Amino acid sequence: MRNVPTDLVARILEFVRREVPGAPADLTIDTPLATSGLLDSVALVRLAALVERETGLIIPDRDVTADHFDSVRRIQEYVTARKREA
């Protein structure tokens, strides 16, 4: 399994800016993505797929939730925890 990419944050932010109409210009790692309505369920699944490609993780459907994917920081924490488990 690959290590967590150092540019994962940049790739996630780029994804949101590119794929989400109306994404705020001042998007940060703490900007709420799901609970704010910025990402709908389809975008959330696409974001999880991006994280899988970038990290080599297989993310179970049950983990694609706002608890794990509501901000870039939460995604980082989720990926770090999953990598530790592997």
Instruction: For residue range 56-85, list pLDDT tens digits in order.
Output: 999 999 999 999 999 999 999 999 999 888
- Half-sphere exposure at residue 69, Cβ-oriented, CA atoms within 13 angstroms: 26
Q: What is the pLDDT of residues 10-37, one digit of tens each?
A: 999 999 999 888 889 899 999 999 999 9
How would you label 19-45 residue by residue, b for 16+ Cβ within 10 Å and e otherwise? ebeebeeebeeebebbeeebbeeebbe
Residue 1, pLDDT score: 36
Structural domains in the chain plus CATH codes? 8-85 (1.10.1200.10)
